[in-house]
Amino acid sequence: MILNVFTDIHNLLLGLMSAKVAHITELVLIGVAYLGIFAVLGLFLVWLERRVAGFFQLRLGPNRVGPSGLFQTIADALKLVTKELTGTVKADKQLYKIAPYFVITTALMTMALIPFSHEIQAFDINIGIFFLISVSSIGVLGIFLAGWSSNNKYSLIGGMRTGIQMISYELSVGMAVVTMVVLAGTLQISEIVELQKGGWFIFTGHIPAIIAFMIFMIAGTAESNRVPFDLVEAESELGAGFHTEYSGMRFAYYFLAEFVNMFIIASIAVVLFFGGWLSPFGITDAIPFAGLFWFSVKVIAVIFIFMWFRWTFPRLRIDQLLTLEWKYLLPINMVNIVLMALLVWLGLTF
């Protein structure tokens, strides 16, 4: 049904203009749509975070603006839009201005690959997972540039920590993903989801899949710079870390991108381990839009686990961070890949 809507728009555009122009118009339309999703998603997740944090801390969280405080973050965003964009005198002006867009663009590019449902996926290439991992590592550049160009020692320390943290944990995320790719045998995201019709990978992959999931969750938290791996921001040590000198909308870009990155990490987890848009046991396969519903439910559940981490664990020290990655996660991951390869080779998966 939703596919019909897309075909209708496609035919309408073809009737109005030549095929090439229609193609470009469609790309622009999709881009605008994803920008909208980006903003709405970011604001929704900020609201969700604050609300969940409230319940964890025996509070209520925002509950005044709109039903259950849903419009609180919209009001906050409007406030940030109206604020002045300040900067330091000695900042590297061009890099300082361009840095937030690296983060935003990366988040948007990765979002194009996320399969919201069977029909809704903007960009489904055969090396999907590979593309996703490689593009998402560009985001570090934005944070690093922000820390460097601000010409502020706290920002600089924050930026440097980003470098250390991202390079380390990129490895674990990648290897956890590779473990699942070994099981799936393909890199294309839509195909990976289709393969899970018989059973989600977290069940068919036995113990290696569960270990991979745990490693992915830990490294994913580090990738999205969330507590307990938020050394990049570390309010108690660095002020606000890399975005100390940012204000107004530029700050909001970082803020939204952080939450959208969390959504992306959660989506990858859902695609790789929990069957993407598939319903449990195929109970609602016939209903249109059901895929979107199941995908959202699963992603929000995974995001809730991230929030659960955030309100439970204290922040790691930098040496603990590196010990965890290089001495524990990485060796376990390597053994895990071999184990998974053995399972697949012997045909022991379900």
Partner 1 sequence: MSYFSDIINGTKSLLTGMRITGKYFFVNFLTRRDVITEQYPDNLETLKMFDRYRGEVTMYHNENNEHRCDACTLCEKACPNGSIEIVSDKKLNPETQRNVRYIVKHIYHLEMCTMCGLCIEACPQDAIQWGQNFHHVQYDRGKLTKVLNKPGSTIMSKTKEKK
- Alpha carbon dihedral 145, 149, 155, 156, in 10-degree steps, equals 80
Q: Is 11 in the site for partner 1 (CB under 8 A)?
A: no
In the bound state with partner 1, the residue whose beta carbon lies nearer, of 52 and 272, is 52
- Residue from 44, 71, 203, 311 that binds partner 1 (CB under 8 A)? 311
Stretch that binds partner 1, among 47-55, 76-84, 183-191, 335-343 (CB under 8 A): 47-55
**Rounded Cα–Cα distance for residues 193 and 282 (Å):** 13
Contact pick of 308, 334, 342, 348 for partner 1 (by CB under 8 A): 308
Which of 52, 113, 232, 270 forms a contact with partner 1 (CB under 8 A)?
52
SS3 350: coil
End-to-end CA distance of the chain: 33
Residue 45 is a binding residue for partner 1 (CB under 8 A): no
Q: Which token pair is 167?
A: 């390079």
Q: How far is the CB of 316 from partner 1 (least distance, A)?
A: 12
Residue 326 interacts with partner 1 (CB under 8 A): yes or no: no
Q: How far is CA 314 from CA 74, 201, 231, 236, 322, in A?
A: 30, 31, 11, 12, 16
Q: Is 81 exposed, middle or buried (0-12, 13-18, 19+ CB in 10 A)?
A: exposed
Minimum distance of partner 1 from residue 310's CB (angstroms): 10
Residue among 80, 306, 278 nearest 193 (CA): 278
**Number of shown-chain residues binding partner 1 (CB under 8 A):** 15
Phi-psi sector, 278: left (phi>0), alpha (psi -120 to 50), beta: beta
What's the closest the beta carbon of residue 57 comes to partner 1, in angstroms?
8
Region near partner 1 per CB under 8 A, out of 72-80, 161-169, 257-265, 311-319? 311-319
Minimum distance between the CB of residue 272 and partner 1, rounded to whole angstroms? 21
The answer to whether residue 312 forms part of the interface with partner 1 (CB under 8 A) is yes
Q: How far is the CB of 222 from partner 1 (least distance, A)?
A: 15
Considering beta carbons, is residue 1 or 58 the nearer one to partner 1? 58
Task: Give CA–CA dist 267/290, Å, rounded.
Answer: 16
Nearer of residues 53 and 318 to partner 1, judged by Cβ: 53
- Quick one: 289 or 313, whose CB is closer to partner 1? 313
DSSP letter for each residue of 225-293? T-TTS-TTT-HHHHTTGGGTT--HHHHHHHHHHHHHHHHHHHHHHHHHHS-TTPPGGGTTTTSTTHHHH
Using an 8 Å Cβ cutoff, are 144 and 163 in contact? yes
Q: Which is nearer to partner 1, 11 or 57 (CB)?
A: 57
Q: Residue 289, interface with partner 1 (CB under 8 A)?
A: no
**Nearest CB to partner 1, comparing residues 184 and 307:** 307
Paired tokens of 306: 């991230």
Stretch that binds partner 1, among 48-56, 185-193, 194-202, 262-270 (CB under 8 A): 48-56
Please report, as ranges, the residues that interact with partner 1 according to CB under 8 A.
52, 54-60, 308-309, 311-313, 328, 332
